[in-house]
Amino acid sequence: MPIQFNLNGVFYQEDGLPPTTSVLDYLRQHQGKTGTKEGCAEGDCGACTIVLAREDESGNAIYEAVNSCLLMLPQLDGANVVTVEGIADADTLDPVQAAMVETDGTQCGFCTPGFIMALYALRQGGEEPTDEVIHEALAGNLCRCTGYTPIVAAAKKACGNAPPDVVGARATLVPSSSYATENQRFHAPNSLEDLAALRAAHPSAQLLAGGTDLGILTSKERQPLPEIISIVHVEELLEITETDDYLELGAAVTYTRALPYIKRLYPSLSTLITRIGSRQIRNMGTFGGNIGTASPIGDTLPCLIALDATVILHSLSGERSVPLEDFFIGYRETCLGPSEFIKAIHIPKLSSGQAFRAYKISKRYDQDISSVIGAYRVGISHSKVASIRVAFGGMAATPKRASASEAALAGKDWTEETALAVAPAVAEDFTPLSDHRASQAYRLRVAENLFIRLYRDLSEFEDLTDVVAA
């Protein structure tokens, strides 16, 4: 079946192009929309930023900036796409474009369309353009000319009060369930049953959620990927459930959709998620995808292990729940059976008196791969460590609990001396490797010192119940 979408308000159908054609290549080579640029081809620079417009459950227009270099063409099926060529009204510039001109927000101009689309999404969202909001919205766009000051000035000038729906989140088209060419097939099931059947029939197919990892294989490495199954139209995988005891996120829930819940329940994890990637990345990336890649440096993985999360696995044979710490069995290996897939992530809430902290160590603050991630769930009672779960990323072939470190803390007085004394246990838990990101000695020392940071961090609060709500 052909791919159907609206591009700058005009309806298009495409049939015959390889499913792994990147949206960036499609826009430039097949639509002549050359305002969208290729810089890094891996979702870091933001030169390829476009906006996807849709309506939420209440009928409100939602505009999300995304990296077109990481999107495969069939991911546009049923979507409303906005590029820099589509935001001006006849001969009148969009307010964001006009503000960039007025503030001299461009120099060489290569990155400018990406900045404009990131700010266009910000403006359409109606957020108050504080310095923090602007910098966060622009974290996924790189400029080597202007120093950002005039771009921030343009944001303050143009953003704020949400304008009318200019381009329009048109009525969402119904995506097709499959798209195929001679050598490639792209499946897009819309029910859990269909997904389970496809997974059983094609156990070697690549599962696609947001594509922030898989998209690099196609956009940068040009891998053909003969069989792809997209999960983003499966309603059951898009559900968010909250009870008094837990938060459950469907595997296809994006970071952006989950963030309000995470910020309220696990604020330290919320801060870390904003560092995983830019808004463009968070609008595409999913918790299920981050878990499914099984990377030892996946940012959310040690955090979820420390929070005692479980993954719900589904297949035609039924469902089973697996503690996340047992899900990873080797480097980029999981316990998934050939026909299984991740349905949801079940995360217990913090109890009264418990605190959670996550610390990411990387060479730059935003959008960098971690050298070490430490995650801690701590319960303190009568100045003693009543409960403790610790997990690290970047320290082993898999994200891993620090069992010896936990034992060294459990039942001890909650003091800085106790935190200092954990150091020998860290070396017992981990024998990290040395690579271009960090040496073995550095990783061990950082992991040791993070316990001191944890103590000093939590000691700022007289009552740990305040930490839960912070």
- Sequence ranges of the domains in the chain: 3-158, 178-236, 238-469
For residues 448 and 390, give the distance between their C-alpha atoms in angstroms, rounded to a whole number: 12
What is the pLDDT at residue 63? 92
For residues 194 and 361, give the distance between their C-alpha atoms in angstroms, rounded to a whole number: 41
DSSP states along 242-266: E-SSEEEEETT-BHHHHHHHHHHH-
Is the CB of residue 202 less than 8 Å from the CB of residue 227?
Answer: yes
The token pair at 380 is 């303190």
Mean pLDDT of the chain: 91
Rounded to the nearest 5 degrees, what angle is found at the Cα of 184, between the Cα atoms of 43 and 221?
35
What is the pLDDT at residue 468? 37
Q: Comparing 6 with 176, which gets the higher pLDDT?
A: 6
CA 326 → CA 246, 287, 311, 330, 427, distances in Å?
20, 17, 10, 10, 21
Is the CB of residue 159 less than 8 Å from the CB of residue 119?
Answer: yes
238-469 is a CATH 3.30.390.50 domain:
yes
For residues 19 and 186, give the distance between their C-alpha atoms in angstroms, rounded to a whole number: 6
pLDDT at 337 over 50: yes
Q: What is the CA radius of gyration of the chain?
A: 23
CA-nearest of 349, 352, 417 to 381 is 352
- Number of Cβ within 10 Å of residue 245's Cβ equals 9
Rounded to the nearest 5 degrees, what angle is found at the Cα of 127, between the Cα atoms of 270 and 146?
90
Give pLDDT tens digits for 7-43: 998 999 999 899 999 999 999 999 999 999 999 989 9
DSSP states along 313-331: EEETTEEEEEEHHHHEEET
Q: Comparing 55 with 111, which gets the higher pLDDT?
A: 111
Give pLDDT tens digits for 282-300: 999 999 999 999 999 899 9
Across 124-128, 354-358, 394-398, least confident range: 124-128
What is the pLDDT at residue 169? 54
The answer for residues whose C-beta is within 8 angstroms of residue 76's C-beta and 6 or more apart is 3, 5, 23
pLDDT at 403 over 90: yes
For residues 376 and 397, give the distance between their C-alpha atoms in angstroms, rounded to a whole number: 19
pLDDT band at 312 (very low <50, low <70, confident <90, very high): very high
Fold held by 3-158: Ubiquitin-like (UB roll) (3.10.20)
301 CB-contact burial (10 Å; exposed 0-12 / middle 13-18 / buried 19+):
buried
Q: What is the pTM of this model?
A: 0.92
pLDDT band at 462 (very low <50, low <70, confident <90, very high): very low
Give pLDDT tens digits for 251-272: 999 999 999 999 999 999 999 9
Give pLDDT tens digits for 145-198: 877 899 999 999 999 876 656 555 555 677 778 888 888 999 999 999 999 999
Residues facing 314 on adjacent strands:
319, 341
The token pair at 72 is 């495969």
Is the CB of residue 121 less than 8 Å from the CB of residue 62?
Answer: no
- Phi and psi angles of residue 80, each rounded to the nearest 5 degrees, phi first: -115, 115
The pairing of strands 178-180 and 80-82 is unpaired
Give the percent of the chain with pLDDT over 90: 78
**CATH class held by domain 178-236:** alpha beta
Can you tell me whether residue 120 is helix, strand or coil?
A: helix
Give pLDDT tens digits for 215-248: 888 877 788 889 999 999 999 999 999 999 999 9
Rounded to the nearest 5 degrees, what angle is found at the Cα of 341, between the Cα atoms of 338 and 345?
145
The pairing of strands 10-14 and 49-55 is unpaired
Place of tokens 């305040």: 466
For residues 113 and 48, give the distance between their C-alpha atoms in angstroms, rounded to a whole number: 8
What is the pLDDT at residue 103? 94
CA 72 to chain CA mean position, Å = 17
